[in-house]
Chain A
């Protein structure tokens, strides 16, 4: 696909999001560098989804700036996002992936082959002609992943992709994500599951009530949390 300037480093500078009277993100300063996956954790309502949408460029900050590789306001050709509940087009699984490929600028002649490759990568080749909306939750999640990977993104954002999956499906998805990370895609992923953090994370972003409470390497965060909230969280307590 076309060569485009890099979206990394992704820099948030003094970013706040306020909706109505509620502050969802509060004066965040953050830099995301290429490398191992960054996992975002925190209690519900801490602003993980809003942060992901901001990084994708789907939401604009009420204050502060977001820049990708030094630029603001650009088309998101090198970024992709997988929502917690992905929306499937009313077409076959293959058609969904082909749609993603078409939007990413893949030439028509190559689309069929790349669709096959992507479906194979996420283990859905056998279900290629099944109507996408009839797939199971786990299958739809993998299809959304395939659709996102069709863009050959530099940054892949994921919002708790395995939250409603059984362990087998979870493992499958984690393997795909790890493979993508190993081939150079920067993974930024919200997660609920501390075990997942241990398995996947390079570094961890711990959000509490719209603040970055702590940021550390995965091992440090899990075994030697620096802040009391992080300690409580890692112990499994509710962090209010």
Chain B
């Protein structure tokens, strides 16, 4: 229905256009379209028709004389066919490999400098032996300070007593998580006895002798307190 309406409109406009053309214009359109006017056309129009037909006549020898030269020039001017675009796909892997190489070198350099974030630095430390990431911030653990570990004895015995101990003078526990390394016996110069006093109060009391309840020869605060008590009792 729509097509039918459109075709009707076209027919109306076409008829109106034809009706608006003067006879001369209609004849001119026929001549421009290379149609014959017929025998009833005026002489002047038929003469003009003849002129136009001559202008659109067959090709002359002069016009076609340069055919060979034109073909040669055409073939010479044709652009060379592209070699199937082989350069494009080859460039992409090369560029990708170069980019990956540069990125890898930069990553290794950063890892060696220790500038990577901690998880990555730890990974690099495991993979390529890069420096380990710095330890996390130290948090004081009160339970470890108050109760020294069993290894305190060995440390006390290893250290030679000379000078005053930082812990023994005050009898307060150190803030260090490793209290054994600074402990040193003093006073009576018997580090063995004082060290053992922290763990074996009865033995140390026997060795240190008598009545020196104020002897601060023990390494740790705990040892000092225990020694005094035991010594006094036994003597």
B and A form one assembly: no
